[in-house]
Amino acid sequence: MTCQENNSESDVVFDGVVAMFSRAHHKQMPVSPAEMSEARFRRFLRELTAYERHLAYEETLNAFLDLYSTWMKTHEPWLKIRVVMLAFELHRMDPAFECSLSFRE
């Protein structure tokens, strides 16, 4: 009889613990549709800005690689200056970008 009482008491305690962790401890504040739309729009703008930065970096990187390839074939002095400028620009856009250009001329 005592065993059954202990089991039922532990069941009640367990159920209480489960209930304590399964319910929200704070009430959510009501959010108006306008606030929700504004939050979504701000998130969209952040994502758009990040995408534009990534796209600009990719375009600059492609231009750098194309120009460096052309310079390697032609060794035109004006291309060399542009390659260095693009390398600096890529480093400004992403400090992790590193390029060690070695020019014999």
27-53 pLDDT tens trace: 666 767 777 788 888 999 999 999 999
Domain extent, residue 65, equals 50-105
Q: Is residue 98 part of a domain?
A: yes
> What's the CA gap between 97 and 61, in Å, rounded?
10
Q: How many domains does the chain have?
A: 1
* pTM of model > 0.85: no
> What's the CA gap between 8 and 19, in Å, rounded?
16
Q: Is residue 79 part of a domain?
A: yes
